Amino acid sequence: GENVEQHPSTLSVQEGDSAVIKCTYSDSASNYFPWYKQELGKRPQLIIDIRSNVGEKKDQRIAVTLNKTAKHFSLHITETQPEDSAVYFCAATILGGAQKLVFGQGTRLTINP
Amino acid sequence: NAGVTQTPKFQVLKTGQSMTLQCAQDMNHNSMYWYRQDPGMGLRLIYYSASEGTTDKGEVPNGYNVSRLNKREFSLRLESAAPSQTSVYFCASSGRISNTGELFFGEGSRLTVL
């Protein structure tokens, strides 16, 4: 089955700097890669996703890149702000029927003022 | 429109006791899921239901049972709770294939087994 590895487990950056979180997946059939943000004590919420027919996707300060050959994808946050502090999870799955997402272990991002 | 609602939010059990976590969604979604979240291990799928009337095992099904009562409701049962089942449990739902693959999560249920 699918296995997703996520790094780093913790990341601390200065406000205004960029943050990058990386994930690798094992199943070459996976074609959908979402990123979820979980604030302290809250539920995970989707912030951006990418499908395997696209190499990069951007939404304001957030971007995701996908390298299918190497089976890795990354989340990039630019101009970080205090409200970006949270735990971020990457995930992978094959679209169709139920979305059986396999999640990475999570990255705790702290933005220092 | 409440989204995904799960109860209870907190529960303390003794080893060997049983309990059921309830989940309901009002988004007319076909698929529903139960995940557990443990520190450093992300979210792991326990069971899922692709559509009403079907259930399947996820990554960590041992010690759990589920029931898809109808399209709206999906319950998770612990028959004989163990300390290893201390965790935060999230119910989630997702729509049809033609929609996005987004999962909508409930607020979570924190379970402690003593």
Per-residue pLDDT tens listing for chain B (114 residues): 689 999 999 999 999 999 999 999 999 999 999 999 998 888 999 999 998 889 999 999 999 999 998 999 999 999 999 999 999 999 999 986 545 678 999 999 999 999
Q: Distance between CA B40 and CA A9 in Å, rounded?
A: 8
pLDDT at A1: 85
Q: Which residue of B has its CA nearest to A99?
A: B101
The residue in chain A having the minimum alpha-carbon distance to the alpha carbon of residue B110 is A41
Q: What is the pLDDT of residue B100?
A: 65
Give the start-end residues of each E strand in chain B.
4-7, 10-13, 19-25, 31-37, 43-49, 56-57, 64-68, 74-78, 87-94, 104-105, 109-113
Please tell me the predicted confidence (pLDDT) of residue B35.
97
> What are the structure tokens assigned to B54, written together?
């079907």
Q: What is the pLDDT of residue B39?
A: 84
Q: What is the pLDDT of residues A2-26, one digit of tens each?
A: 899 999 999 999 999 999 999 999 9
Partner-chain contact A103 B97, CB within 8 Å: no
Nearest to A106 among B33, B35, B42 (CB): B42
